[in-house]
Amino acid sequence: MAGTSESVCGPTSTHYYPAAQQFPKSIYVFACVINVLGSVTATLGNIMILLALRKCQSLHSPSKALLCSLALTDLFVGVAVLLLFTVYYLTIILEKPTYYCAIAVSYGRISSYVLAVSLATITTIAIDRYLAFRLLLRYRELVTLRRVVCALVIEWILAAFWTGSWFWSAKINVVTGAIFLVIFCVTTSLCYFNIYRGLRRHFAQNRQQENVSEAGDFNVFQYKRTVNNMLWIYVLLLICYIPTFFSQLAIVVLGLNKSTRFALHLAVILIYFNSWLNPFLYCWRIKELKENVLVHLRSLNHSFLSN
């Protein structure tokens, strides 16, 4: 346990307690307020999305399963990650070094697990959209709800093994995490790039209405709309993750000092904006989902007024 404590909370770690005390407590208090507000927003917002997805008929079942997985990870951010993050900062504010390292380990492992599942799901969504374009009418035959759910279950289990590998070797955990991060980003980007090229080629070759419908029941315009929706989700994730990438890069180049440590802590908070904003993005981009959410909100409001 001493070795683990040293590696997590030692001088070379971003969780080094004496270094954390160098920042004004007002910064941590402000961060705690933001985290609590974010926790409430992410929790309530993603619960509403999960309830609304059950009644959303316009989405194909595998697509609903993928969005459910993503909403679940965002829900766990609100329920567990942000609350642990707040407690982590409270140990600094209240000067409780005894609990600091244990909270740091718990927060670090749970947040890593949830973020890994979230990235894997985003990549699976991109692959799903690419297969829908390549397979056309065979897509519904080959990409079934059962197969997508199996893939998601495997991803959640593999993410758990990867997260747990940190207790065996932190170095291997970091290296494999970086490799998978690159694979996820490259795969997702290539899928959307190939979809973009394919759609451009399709519309260029099919100017006349009779040729546009040659794919049979495959509605290319509806497909394009779903791709745009999923692309927005991916772009929002990138925007929220880019600051953390640059702060990590700064630590590699400049070393771990007061400035880079502070930049990393600030960037990590920005990551969780993704979980707060996703429910609003879903409602903005998917009309039926928005309508279902409004129905649930009206129902809750009516029940509240009745009581």
Res 232 pLDDT > 60? yes
Whether 136 and 215 have beta carbons less than 8 Å apart is answered as: yes
CATH code for the domain in which residue 34 is found: 1.20.1070.10
Cα separation, 174 vs 195, in Å, equals 32
Supply the mean pLDDT for the chain. 85
So what's the pLDDT on residue 305?
65
Our count of domains for the chain comes to 1
- Cβ(45)–Cβ(276) under 8 Å? yes
**Which tens digits make up the pLDDT trace of 264-293?**
888 888 888 899 999 999 999 888 888 888
Query: Is 83:76 a contact under the CB 8 Å cutoff?
Result: no
Check: CB of residue 123 under 8 Å from CB of residue 40. Answer: no
Q: pLDDT tens digits for 29-44?
A: 999 999 999 999 999 9
pLDDT reported for residue 211: 46
| Residues spanned by the domain of 292 | 2-306
Half-sphere exposure of 59 (CA within 13 A, CB side): 27
CA distance 268 to 56: 33
First to last CA, the chain: 52
Return d(Cα 39, Cα 52) in angstroms, integer: 20
